[in-house]
Structure 1
């Protein structure tokens, strides 16, 4: 068997003019830097190869010179099809200047295209991208006016609209692993991710192309455990051993045993976030975290949610994920983003997007740069600035619930946070709540039509998506509605029947006790029996009921208290500040009906919220005779007057 090891310069010679080249990597992880350096050097010295098509899923760069920025030379590239552009400004500049044909497609779609190209399919059929700028009825994913070919089309399958993303042959795959034997078998034991390496290698091989893999070391022939081999040697044409400086684990970390899963780290080693507007936003988003749920956190502002979850001791009750294939553990940030510590598993990126696209995410917390009255969100394009969508479209379109997180305005914004709330020292010069987003990366109307739960969380106000559009539901203490919110919106939002004040704990130092709230650890205190065992007090004040499990916990606690009594009890229920989500409203009412049938005598309820009284009255009217008062005094007075009676 031949020895497939060659020099980086010799590898660069294998790339021909006009080739379609795919590269591995996610941000600064798994990027074949040695091969990109060699390719750039050859072009600078010889003006070849020329007119390449660059085809990549995730952004690979440091926002400056490394990664795909090395290919940002006029003449080297003729066309680029990519998922995320924000970290490759040198290539993005060619696209926005119209010097290359350029497309921005969803990261997960490109990841799946690798598999479909490998399998010889004509393309990828998906609902991902409908209603966004990728939809050919809007922009078709085209970045500039010199991009003419239609590579996305609309198809109807099974009575539903889909987008068809056309496949293309891959001539060269520039990939990266850890170890190689002379036959070209590749392992990835020191890499933070496996990404799409196998699918990309198969796509190139089955297109008649060349597969070149950068590694950090060679081992003896047959020296790798076959179960550790990620890319079989049969798919690999050449192996290049990289210089250490071009094979860092991430662009921020030369090597971490924790990122490769060799060791675990103590959870309390994660630094606590300072009390800033960023933390306020992350905390408010964390209120939506589903216990035992699967979560995706985007880059930037949403990264803080992981730190808050750690501080609140919630990480053992969540499965955090990241789109390149991380399942479990705690995600890293910055140029380490995509890596994670204490993970449960690392899977291929395409498999992760299978799970995401199928609705596996319970919630996603993502950034937002622009929001309009219809609930559309833009994170991908702002005038000449090209960020790209990355996995945002896959994730936001298919997660069961989405929280968009970001400051209310930007550029020059100066805020102070204290127990009194938020003080605006200097307002931001850029408005985020605009009349119409510059590019639709998330379709509000499609999400509303599907009944998706969507929140827009800022440091001073919280909005939700309703069929009518964006609705204001919460405002921070210290904030004036007209001066600090409405005056800085290009549209008038819908107004909730009652605008709540954001939880005071968001603005205070120290842990919030969110674990108690979300796990309902205080139910023993919330369900209490009087000394004479004649009255039951249900304190649902500020309780959030979001899932069937929450309803079952209340049912179980009431049963535990009432079942041994052998007689009915009169009930006073406090619903002040309580929230019962629409999705579980019927289950809550059914549970209350069951408890009344089995255990209750006279029942009174009270809430200081007129909207909650109306909502409870309407809900209970269907099954339970409603008596919802404004104060505890009124509720107890009614109970006293009706003592011994029953509504059943």
Structure 2
């Protein structure tokens, strides 16, 4: 007969032994098994057992005060802790910084991957994540205090390249959370906002002959669960604990929101726009870096506001926002709801998300910054006795194609007012953010400069860019005095050459019209003008025309460039992979014919798509626009060169 695995929290926790290595799921309050954690604390208070546990967590399961792993911050109960983010478990962090327990801070994504390594009995995880940061063994190896001596990270050279090897360690107990369980221990997560690493951690404990305890909010009859909905199969689970609703909120900020679990979609245009304060000013400047059609990660803090700005500016449909615990698409949330999102396209397991991130899947990441030095190094993880931890910051910042750090120019107490379209510093912050040397390197500016990574540092009053020689001041807000408002408050002098004025639209009360600006910028990047031959090359490969605004953008950008040239020119367009909404066909080709009659001596177009060649060939002649359509670039160019008068006449 099938074993009934449903027990009380106390019965399950009684199975944990002295010295066990206990992993605990949770991202802030999402997926945090509060009932199990409380039972473990209760048992320790009543019996002084178990003792000397090793606690493993990727993202800090805590609220920054009393809940989550803060409950387990007791000498004797915990001997060692390995965590990705510590900022929301300050009581546990204090044990670490007071040198009372052995403690490590490793990248969140790497800990997620170590669960899989432990499950498969692999030696560990080999990655470049952490090179040049405090996790690099040459800079401390992620050890938090003097009491911590064992090396979990080492440098390896493979084919002349440096890598970091993170040693795997056994997981004896996995504390996880789901929505529904049956008596056999099969776990579904239909009401959870995230999947996290529940499956990988359970597998790691099971394959170490350990113990898996799952907290759920409801019990289903045997055989009634859809096999495709089961996230953690019963063969991995030893005990199921039914928790009261008070110990099973969806997040620490929200008891339950059906949009967080994708039960419903919500109208984004009904979400209130953020107030125009210094945080929104920074987010607005960051918004000009958004790559339309790109995949983006938003970190905690000021970057959270960027999602709301994108929604207000009606550009969310052109972006795919993501959050590190596994969210793809939609609008990520902030505060104690951080990690959840509404209107998501998909949810990945956390370790899968970091596979994607580590492999360079992000077109842009916008992250916070607490300290920055002249070399572009950033610290978000350690400030004297305060241990914040890196979380997923190292994975994300090292591997995103483009990177924007966002934060106020000064810390503590800064107040900014907007007057006549300019920022005014009402009250200056009390501590510097731009310092001679950061206390801990969470992001290596030197490593990013060598790789040629594009990095900006955006504040409410100025913007810096990372160069091979260090930080360069590139933009200043209108009305801001460089010497008085910037250099006086820095611990070093940045490189200063030509400094531009930040876009005035950032400091206006109404929306910025960002959609049009980004569409134009995206299209401008696709154009290349050869003045010597008077030929304009347009790369429409993979471009999509989805709405009338897209067509208006094409008209504006082409008209602007051709007007600057001042004479008619020859055009070559790559239409490979081009997508045109059927309802916009007539409007689009009317615009193309208009531009051709006004600005081009001749135009050739090419695409490997027979369908698109047919469409172009049918649509242009009917509008009295010559249709020279080819399959390859070389054929299109050859045709142009067979008609030299088209170019020479224009250049004459």
Do the structures match in fold with TM over 0.5? yes
Within the candidate set 563, 574, 583, 1:537 is matched to: 563
Note the C-alpha offset of 1:519: 1.4
* CA spacing shift, 1:596–1:85, aligned 2, 3 Å: farther
Distance 1:506 1:389 in 2: 30
Say if 1:506 and 1:6 are closer, same or farther in 2 by CA, change over 3 A.
Answer: same
Q: Name 1:219's counterpart in structure 2.
A: 220
Helix, strand or coil at the partner of 2:353: helix
Q: Give 1:633's aligned residue.
A: none
Distance in structure 1 (CA, Å) of the matches to 2:642 and 2:466:
38
Question: Where do 5+ consecutive residues of structure 2 fail to align?
Answer: 521-551, 567-573, 580-588, 603-633
In structure 2, the CA distance between the partners of 1:284 and 1:565, relative to structure 1 (3 Å rule), is closer
Give the direction of change, closer, same or farther, for the CA distance of 1:451–1:118 in structure 2 (3 Å limit).
Answer: same
Aligned positions of 1:244-263 closer than 5 A:
244-263=245-264
Aligned to 2:586: none
Cα distance change on mapping 1:362 and 1:536 into 2, 3 Å: closer
Correspondences of 1:127-166 after superposition (within 5 Å): 127-166=128-167
**Alignment partners' CA distance in 2, 1:80 and 1:450:** 33
Whether the 8 Å contact between 1:6 and 1:238 is mirrored in structure 2 is yes
Deviation at 1:526, TM superposition (A): 4.4
State the 1:95 CA deviation. 0.3
Q: How does 1:167-246 map to 2 (within 5 A)?
A: 167-246=168-247
Q: Is 2:488 the partner of 1:472?
A: no
Query: Quick check: 1:523–1:557 contact (8 Å CA) kept in 2?
Result: no
How has the CA–CA distance of structure 1 residues 126 and 430 changed in structure 2, closer, same or farther, with 3 Å as cutoff? same
Matched, 1:438 2:464: no
Q: CA deviation at 1:80?
A: 0.4
Contact 1:562–1:599, Cα closer than 8 Å, also in 2: no
Aligned to 2:58: 57
Change (3 A) 1:566 1:508: closer
Measure, in 2, the Cα distance between the counterparts of 1:374 and 1:536.
Answer: 41
Contact 2:555–2:591 at 8 Å: present in 1 too?
A: no
The answer on whether the counterparts of 1:471 and 1:493 sit within 8 Å (CA) in structure 2 is yes
Question: What is the Cα deviation at residue 536 of structure 1?
Answer: 4.7
Deviation of the 1:420 alpha carbon: 3.1
Query: For 1:337-375, what per-residue CA distance to the aligned partner results, in whole angstroms no more than 9, with x for missing partners?
Result: 111110000110010000000000000000000000010
- Residue 321 of structure 2 is matched in structure 1 by 320
Given the two structures, how large is their TM-score scaled by the length of structure 1? 0.84
Per-residue Cα deviation, 1:286-323 (whole angstroms, up to 9, x for no partner): 10000000000001110000000000100000000001
Of 542, 548, 555 in structure 2, the residue corresponding to residue 524 of structure 1 is 555
With over 3 angstroms needed to count, the CA separation of the structure-2 counterparts of 1:539 and 1:93, relative to structure 1, is: farther
The aligned counterpart of 1:355 is: 356
Matched, 1:449 2:450: yes
What is the aligned partner in structure 2 of residue 304 from structure 1? Answer: 305
Gap runs ≥5 in structure 1:
530-534, 541-547, 570-589, 604-643
Shifted more, 415-424 versus 155-164: the winner is: 415-424
Cα distance, 1:421 vs structure 2: 1.2
8 A Cα contact 1:285 1:403, kept in partner: yes
Q: Is the CA contact 2:562–2:599 (under 8 Å) kept in the aligned structure 1?
A: no
Structure 2 counterparts to residues 68-147 of structure 1, below 5 A: 68-147=69-148
**Distance between the aligned counterparts of 2:25 and 2:485, measured in 1?**
45
Residues 1:173 and 1:598: Cα distance change in structure 2 (over 3 Å): farther
Measured after TM superposition, the shift of residue 217 of structure 1 is: 1.0
Scaled by the length of structure 2, the TM-score of the pair is 0.84
CA distance, structure 1, for counterparts of residue 646 and residue 417 of structure 2? 49
Take 1:405 and 1:338, find their aligned partners in 2: how far apart are those partners? 18
Residue 46 of structure 1, CA deviation:
1.2
**Given the superposition, is the C-alpha separation of residues 594 and 338 from structure 1 closer, same or farther in structure 2, using an over 3 Å criterion?**
farther
Check 1:504–1:15 CA distance in 2 against 1; reply closer, same or farther (3 A cut).
Answer: same
Q: CA deviation at 1:538?
A: 3.8
Alignment deviations for residues 389-431 of structure 1 (CA, whole Å, 9 cap, x no partner): 0000000000000000000001121211234311112211110
Which range moved further: 150-159 or 391-400?
A: 150-159
Please tell me the root mean square deviation across aligned C-alpha atoms, in Å: 2.6
- Offset at 1:559? 7.1
